[in-house]
Structure 1
Amino acid sequence: MKKLIKLFVLFGVLASCSDELDVPQQGSISADAIVFDAAWINTQIVAAYGILDGNLDNTDVWRAAASNWIYGEVASDNAYKGSEPGDAAPINNVEKYTPLSTSAYLDYKWRAVFEGIARCNSALIAIEKGLLTEDLNEEDATVLQAEARFLRGHFHFEAKKMWNNIPFIDETVTESQPNVDIDSWSRIEEDFAFAAANLGENAADMGRVNSWTAKSYLAKIHMYQSDFAAAKPILNDVINNGPYALNAFYSDNFNFETSNSAESVFAVQHAADDESSNGSTGNWGEALNFPQTSDIGSGCCGFFQPSQNLVNAFKTDADGLPLLDTFNDVDVTNDQGISSDDPFTPYTGNLDPRLDWTVGRRGIDFQGWDVHPGQRWIRDPNNGGPYLQKKTVYRKSQAGTANSTSAWTLSVSAININIIRYSEVLLWAAEVAAEESDLATALIYVNQVRNRASNPDDFVKEINRIVDPETNAVTLEVLETPAANYVIEEYPSFPDKEYALKAINFERRIELAMEGHRFFDLVRQGRAQSELNTYLSVESTKRVHLSGASFGAGDEYYPIPQTAIDLSGGVLEQN
């Protein structure tokens, strides 16, 4: 699939299908010169894959990052915007639940997802032409339609979870469509159901979708509607008959060298240093999210910093279980206000080992680059706190291979962005079981995820820094000793449905932390207002920029960009 991304750069064929998309046609070719066969239509399918990363024009792509780190994590209790208060100011509004309809960030995200829809529809139109001209046979046409409809379902779902009231744009649309009183859920379901029924079990190329991918995504759509009865048989099929499995190492899900593993159900593919201009096939969406003032990623730019609340969630008790109700009572020790030149002792209490693959903490190895020195690597500790994210930072041993060297920053990586991991499939199945009071089954699925995380071979290890007295060159020796007091065990039982659901939701948070799901999970489960206001009541005392912030009714969805409403001639209505 990464080779196919390069192909996308060469072709880039697209066409808008309604005014509100406001996407100019690029790289167009006269229809008279086109043979609408499988090879040609495949280039259009590849173009639709190419916009999964949200990269419209290599300009501030993080506004539409595939990971949704702004809209799904900074908007939640997992992360702060980070950096300095005045940098990328529109994200401040997202963090404080006051996003504006005039935000260039929301406008870019809207245009990116509807550009993806436009590319899918262009492919579907081309398929119909191919059938009419007999350049395409029915069998090939059906598979190509299924792939295009899967991708169209994905883009519509991205819009749905962001804005809720959205138009559904299919290949027949020629004018602006309303976004109110539209049953977009059923249309999205239809696309994924068609894909699940008509795609093969094996993808044409690595990174492309197959029937199992479509089934998993269809189950996700049902989960977002709390339609557990519909999700259950699909999840059972994927778990019992599908090709997926948990990686032995949790960390392999965020390692460039283990991309597209058995746990990867659907991921946005990235490549580095190919023939694309300015590293455009790399992971531009995460380019800001590297340590400031370090050798990592050109020292850019100190955004997307984990919250203290999230770090506290990784504490465990003497039995290796999460502190479901009391995790935020006492903070995991941090170095806020402590100079990097002053001594600091990391937290010595029990911790879930996934913490140190998710969060960069002072005194702990940071992806082989060095022991995290603390505030020396933090752009503005008073604003963003003492922590750094790690999941999209490549290992030092991968520098020059896992990142682009042609872009303006070395933080443009080739690390894929996970959209669905198999561990999430298991946790959906656990949630369904708990909702049905099948506590034994829910326990099995949750414990599978926890058991994998307990693999001691994957624990972050202590580092011995050896400094050459003459050159000051640093050599890092990896020891066998775990870097912290990692204690994690399986749940012995779920005593009742309420406890089970609390444990499952907590497990989702720590397993998938900083991967773009948290805010949307809270919204779909109806927990956003209570959870986020509880978070703000404590966190606003630590982060001045959150003072006065609150989450109210109606904050579950983002305002539709005013530019889209204007371009639709008022057909679109504001949320």
Structure 2
Amino acid sequence: MKRIRLYIAVIIIVTAWVFPGCQPNMDYTNPMAESDANFYNTKKNLIGAVNGAYNIMQRGGGWTRCMPFMLNARSDEYTYTSGAVAGETASANISQFVVQGDNEFMSLSYQDMFVLQYAANLAIERLKINQDGAFDLNNAEDKALYDRLMGESIFLRGLSRFYLVYFWGDAIPDRNYTTTGGADFKLGPSSPGVIYQNMISDFKEAANLLPVRSIVYTDPENLGRATKGSAFAYLAKAYMARPILDATAKAGDAEWALAKEALKKIIDSNEYELINNYRDNGSEANENNKESIFEVQFSRSTDTDGFNPVANGDIGTWTISGQNTWRQIELTAPNSSESGRWWNGQPSLALYNEFEQDANGKIIDPRAYQGLWIPDGAKYKGKSGAWIGHNILFSGGTFDEWKGKWFGVRKYGEDEYVNDAGKSGINDRLIRYADVLLMYAECSIETGDEATALTYINKVRERANKKMLNATEADQGMFYATGTGNLPTAEQLISKAPTLGRVVSANGQVVCEGIKINTVRRLLKHEYSAELYWEGWCFFNLMRWYNNPNDPDASSILDNLKNKNALQVEQTGLTGTIPFTYQRHLRMPIPSSELSTNSNMKGNSAN
């Protein structure tokens, strides 16, 4: 799947429009031409239909460009930069909580998540028809392949539903069929709770149909396809987040026992494990590894550019197709002469201060250095060819005014200058096994078993302490490359009870209160941040915890978002972020393009 030859663009058969008017009564159809009536009658073309659904995730509104902003920018782990203000206002607005209905990034994501749903439904329909007996369902090998392809398609449809409801709520259209036009283009919103039940059904059915990882990955050409573990992981996410995904649910309605059951199936399968090097979860060197549960597949390609919305009918001027991702050029190293990147968002001071420190204030968590560009950290090979540190990477001009406050993200970026950094092939990891272990720990807490929760939290912390194997020049000499780390156990950290994530300005003003790590629940929240930062789950988790009456910190969990302007000003001097309010900012607004063309749709609480 990583290979371009397998990850082809979606196959779209366009049916000719019949225009009324004065024309001869003739049949213009070429009986030899391919059409939707005769195309999907071979295994090859049915596999192509499924591959095409995967490919939608690589569109501009997907993970190629917009989704990393959509998933990360609203969290308190993220602050926007002056580069975003100057050249990418749409992304800055997402972080500021001032998204309007015409926000380009938001509109593109809305469009492409519905395209994903369409492409998945197309594959499902054509597989069900199984035209001309393309698959002999009495043949065990054919049946296994058929079931796997059906499971992948149903999983991808569930994925579209998951992200659509998470961002826009469930008062939106939902289809389990491909629309043929006409009045159906103006389909109204689903009834409350229906899409949640549909996504649950999709993930459960996909889990029943999909093989486990070791079977799928037996053929190297299938690396990256969805597996049984992928479906169970998203099923657990949905159960845990029911209060924010199901309009009929209320705070406290998370399905902890069901989520725990799904997660235990992943753990007991022995299909996954934590890999040795944390760094490999954000690099191109070790993609689709034993820790990976589902990734968006990218390959560095030189034949694709964006910026052509007219040709393909997309919204906006930032449409990108092909196999590559722009995340590296926009959300990693600063836009200095040494990096050649744009740098439109950066890790917040709250995230930086979340990492555990020694008595001298030096960060001791190896994950910070393996995933961020921070002081005293890994080296970057600049355009000059020299390996440089944070003090040089972040130097010159206005950088010098903000020493100690500006950082970069090493995850999803190469450790050196590359020509045309916008054409990156680094996969986006949507769910990792570490996340499964932390979710299982959370479910254990909610079901009264803190001892088990500590066991699984410690598994994640123990990996963080492992000596890095085969360290590259970027990590040469770092403590985790020459020996093991010094993170204390979960129990030891609770005993020390440090306050983490606290931000205090130079004049002594408290910008972020931070949290005292003196309970297992608070430790788990810290571990989510230290392990999964900038992987798209922080805002999602905050919304879940706010809706958990069992959480003693629920009432204050959104304080950093409410006070995000002060955090933004402290780190960049940029103003304009408004206070977060749950009722208005849980959702993104329904795009104005949808409201202007679909008379049956209306805005939501964010419009």
TM-score, length-scaled by structure 1:
0.79
Give the partner amino acid of 1:210: T
Query: Which residue is equivalent to 1:376?
Result: 395
Q: Is the 8 A contact 1:71 1:519 kept in 2?
A: no
Q: CA deviation at 1:452?
A: 0.4
* 1:91-490 to 2 correspondences below 5 Å: 91-130=91-130, 133-138=132-137, 139=143, 140-165=145-170, 166-171=172-177, 175=184, 176-179=187-190, 181-201=192-212, 202-203=215-216, 205-225=222-242, 226-273=254-301, 280-289=322-331, 290-296=333-339, 299-316=340-357, 348-368=361-381, 369-372=387-390, 373-376=392-395, 385-396=405-416, 409-457=420-468, 478-479=476-477, 481=479, 487-490=486-489
**Cα RMSD (Å):** 3.3
Of 78-87 and 481-490, the range deviating more from structure 2: 481-490
Q: Is the 8 A contact 1:292 1:377 kept in 2?
A: no
1:85-121 Cα offsets, whole Å, 9 max, x none, are: 3221122221121111121111111111111111111
For the residue of structure 2 that corresponds to 1:191, the secondary structure is helix
* 1:14-33 to 2 correspondences below 5 Å: 29-33=34-38
Q: CA deviation at 1:503?
A: 0.9
Query: Which residue is equivalent to 1:78?
Result: 77
Give the partner amino acid of 1:529: L
- Aligned equivalents of 1:91 and 1:417: distance in 2? 18
- Aligned equivalents of 2:518 and 2:444: distance in 1? 12
Q: CA deviation at 1:238?
A: 0.8
Q: Is the 8 A contact 1:142 1:198 kept in 2?
A: yes
Query: Which residue is equivalent to 1:519?
Result: 539
For the residue of structure 2 that corresponds to 1:479, the secondary structure is coil
For the residue of structure 2 that corresponds to 1:55, the secondary structure is coil
Q: Which has the higher contact order (CA 8 A, sep 6+)?
A: 1
Of 260-269 and 73-82, the range deviating more from structure 2: 73-82
Query: Which residue is equivalent to 1:508?
Result: 528
Q: Is the 8 A contact 1:101 1:559 kept in 2?
A: yes
- Aligned equivalents of 1:561 and 1:152: distance in 2? 21
Q: CA deviation at 1:560?
A: 1.1
Q: How many residues align?
A: 504
Q: Is the 8 A contact 1:447 1:491 kept in 2?
A: yes
- Aligned equivalents of 2:587 and 2:426: distance in 1? 29
- Aligned equivalents of 1:250 and 1:432: distance in 2? 24
Of 274-283 and 222-231, the range deviating more from structure 2: 274-283
Q: Is the 8 A contact 2:189 2:600 kept in 1?
A: no
Q: CA deviation at 1:355?
A: 0.9
Q: State the identity %.
A: 22
Q: Is the 8 A contact 1:152 1:191 kept in 2?
A: yes
- Aligned equivalents of 1:316 and 1:267: distance in 2? 32
Give the partner amino acid of 1:170: N
For the residue of structure 1 that corresponds to 2:542, the secondary structure is helix
Q: CA deviation at 1:432?
A: 0.3
Q: CA deviation at 1:293?
A: 2.0
- Aligned equivalents of 2:326 and 2:34: distance in 1? 28
For the residue of structure 2 that corresponds to 1:46, the secondary structure is helix
Give the partner amino acid of 1:371: G
Query: Which residue is equivalent to 2:573?
Result: 544
Q: CA deviation at 1:33?
A: 4.1
TM-score, length-scaled by structure 2:
0.75
- Aligned equivalents of 1:482 and 1:199: distance in 2? 38
Give the partner amino acid of 1:558: M
- Aligned equivalents of 1:301 and 1:353: distance in 2? 26
Q: Is the 8 A contact 2:64 2:325 kept in 1?
A: no
1:432-491 Cα offsets, whole Å, 9 max, x none, are: 001112011000000000000011336989x8xxxxxxxxxxxx8933656999631211
Judged with a 3 Å threshold, the aligned counterparts in structure 2 of structure 1 residues 93 and 31 are, in CA distance, closer, same or farther, namely closer
Q: CA deviation at 1:43?
A: 0.3
- Aligned equivalents of 2:451 and 2:97: distance in 1? 39
Q: CA deviation at 1:285?
A: 4.0
- Aligned equivalents of 1:509 and 1:172: distance in 2? 39
For the residue of structure 2 that corresponds to 1:119, the secondary structure is helix
Match of 2:588 among 534, 553, 558: 558
Q: Unaligned regions of 5+ residues in structure 1, if any?
A: 17-27, 319-346, 464-475
Q: Is the 8 A contact 1:354 1:510 kept in 2?
A: yes
- Aligned equivalents of 1:502 and 1:42: distance in 2? 46
Give the partner amino acid of 2:159: H
Of 177-186 and 423-432, the range deviating more from structure 2: 177-186
Q: CA deviation at 1:543?
A: 3.6
- Aligned equivalents of 1:478 and 1:49: distance in 2? 38
Q: Unaligned regions of 5+ residues in structure 2, if any?
A: 16-32, 138-142, 243-253, 307-320, 382-386, 498-516, 547-553
Q: CA deviation at 1:230?
A: 0.6
Q: CA deviation at 1:411?
A: 3.5
- Aligned equivalents of 2:593 and 2:5: distance in 1? 31
For the residue of structure 1 that corresponds to 2:486, the secondary structure is coil
Q: CA deviation at 1:547?
A: 5.6
1:381-410 Cα offsets, whole Å, 9 max, x none, are: 7799521111011133xx77xxxx6xxx23
Q: Is the 8 A contact 1:36 1:130 kept in 2?
A: yes
Give the partner amino acid of 1:360: W
Q: Is the 8 A contact 1:350 1:486 kept in 2?
A: no
- Aligned equivalents of 2:569 and 2:430: distance in 1? 31
Of 230-239 and 77-86, the range deviating more from structure 2: 77-86
Of 136-145 and 115-124, the range deviating more from structure 2: 136-145
Judged with a 3 Å threshold, the aligned counterparts in structure 2 of structure 1 residues 113 and 295 are, in CA distance, closer, same or farther, namely same
Give the partner amino acid of 1:365: A
1:196-247 Cα offsets, whole Å, 9 max, x none, are: 0011222261100122221222112112122111111111111122400000
Of 371-380 and 175-184, the range deviating more from structure 2: 371-380
Q: Is the 8 A contact 2:113 2:160 kept in 1?
A: yes
Of 418-427 and 484-493, the range deviating more from structure 2: 484-493
- Aligned equivalents of 1:216 and 1:380: distance in 2? 41
1:10-43 Cα offsets, whole Å, 9 max, x none, are: 6543779xxxxxxxxxxx9513442423221110
For the residue of structure 2 that corresponds to 1:376, the secondary structure is coil
- Aligned equivalents of 2:190 and 2:397: distance in 1? 43
